[in-house]
Structure 1
């Protein structure tokens, strides 16, 4: 191998990690993960039994089917957040509502563990917003000051100010030479 070949020397784990990081960055990953983790105890605890020596403790309730439905729906909503991020607000609201419904139905929301995870996952899904694309000159939009991103977008920052013309082009909002404000 020659030292000029760049892609062949890279380890496959590093490539997979970079691909996963890129995949994770375009969707509400943590919201979906928290929602799915919240659905597991809500669905599991009503059907679980614990053995202490010769004594078996069963935590099953009459609402076991409701708990299973709520848990499966939360897991489905978590997967929806990952693979269809366009409906993230609906999935977040539905996850919060299912978490609230799980308190009376599913053993106090999976002993508060599932309730808390589903509530946080739904809130993260509602608050997640996709990243902004970079501007044409290669500088990310987040690096521009807020005053440059006014009604005209970044156009005002790109127009040079002319000295002595009676008005500034950077403040010219309607294109007719009139000052704003």
Structure 2
């Protein structure tokens, strides 16, 4: 039972940008908690503490978004990095620099994370044989860079459609 739970946890954790979300949540908690600290710890007091709390809450929500909606990881990563950088100026030096550094690290990890799309290969010595690859496609009769209608081909590396 415990082994089954551990396997499910590992599968869940590996299927999303877990560490990026974790660092974003830590950064948000750090930035959010400092305005609530005693006056001797604070660098700013009063209305200036409101942006700190709001930025911390938004960073926590972005970290949770990366966990529970991995498809939104790029947007969450960019916004986390921007908010962490803004917290450096607006929020007690970004949680005394700790919150800003954790936020930038978390945002970068969220943005860079890619789902594992490679197929599992059979282990050595197993009876499974690799699947044969498909034969290469024959060359196209149209000139390179054009479509069959003669219009220039759209070559966006992101895969956007015209």
Tell me if both proteins adopt one fold, taking TM over 0.5 as the criterion: yes
Q: Larger C-alpha radius of gyration, 1 or 2?
A: 1
Deviation sequence 1:79-131 (CA, Å, 0-9, x none)? 00000000100000000000011011110000001111110000001100001
Q: Give the ranges of 4+ consecutive aligned residues of structure 1 lying more than 4 Å apart after TM superposition.
A: none
Work out the CA distance in 1 between the residues paired with 2:41 and 2:9.
40
> Are residues 1:57 and 2:46 paired?
no
- Aligned-residue Cα RMSD (Å) equals 2.2
Q: Please, which of 75, 90, 99 is the counterpart of residue 60 of structure 2?
A: 75
Matched, 1:115 2:104: no
* Partner residue of 1:26 out of 15, 20, 39: 15
Does structure 1 residue 139 correspond to structure 2 residue 139? no
Count of aligned residue pairs for this structure pair: 130
Aligned counterpart, 1:126: 111
Distance in 2 (CA, whole Å) between partners of 1:175 and 1:126 is: 36
* Greater RCO (CA < 8 Å, at least 6 residues apart): 2
TM-score of the two chains, using structure 1 as the length reference: 0.66
In 1, Cα distance between the equivalents of 2:51 and 2:95? 12
Structure 1 residue ranges without an equivalent (≥5): 1-11, 50-55, 141-154, 160-169, 177-181
Q: Does 2:138 align with 1:174?
A: yes
Deviations 1:134-165 (A, max 9, x none): 2xxx637xxxxxxxxxxxxxx9x736xxxxxx
